[in-house]
Amino acid sequence: MIDLKSFLKREKMTKAALCRKIGIDPKSSLLSAYEKGRSCPSYDVCVKLLEAGMMVEELFGVEYKKMHQEFI
């Protein structure tokens, strides 16, 4: 699940603005599906989200934190 709320708040951006920035139709429900864990973004979308300023922790959420703890 993507931590979209934190990212949008930090960047002072709306979901519609983010959609336009990464090339997703603002009327689609893709971002909500990513946020709720009902769908996973493709590699290309992940790259675009990172290029838009999203942090790895926000993109991969709990899964990343668990994996990161295992390597420490």
DSSP calls for 16-31: HHHHHHHT--TTSSHH
Return mean pLDDT, the chain: 86
For residue 51, what pLDDT band results from cuts at 50, 70 and 90? Answer: very high
Compute the distance between CA of residue 23 and CA of residue 4 in angstroms, rounded to an integer. 16
- Residue type at 38? R
Of residues 48 and 64, the one with the higher pLDDT is 48
Q: What is the mean pLDDT of residues 10-31?
A: 93
This prediction's pTM: 0.80
- Residue type at 34? Y
For residue 64, what pLDDT band results from cuts at 50, 70 and 90? Answer: low
Q: What is the mean pLDDT of residues 53-72?
A: 72
Q: Is the pLDDT of residue 13 over 70?
A: yes
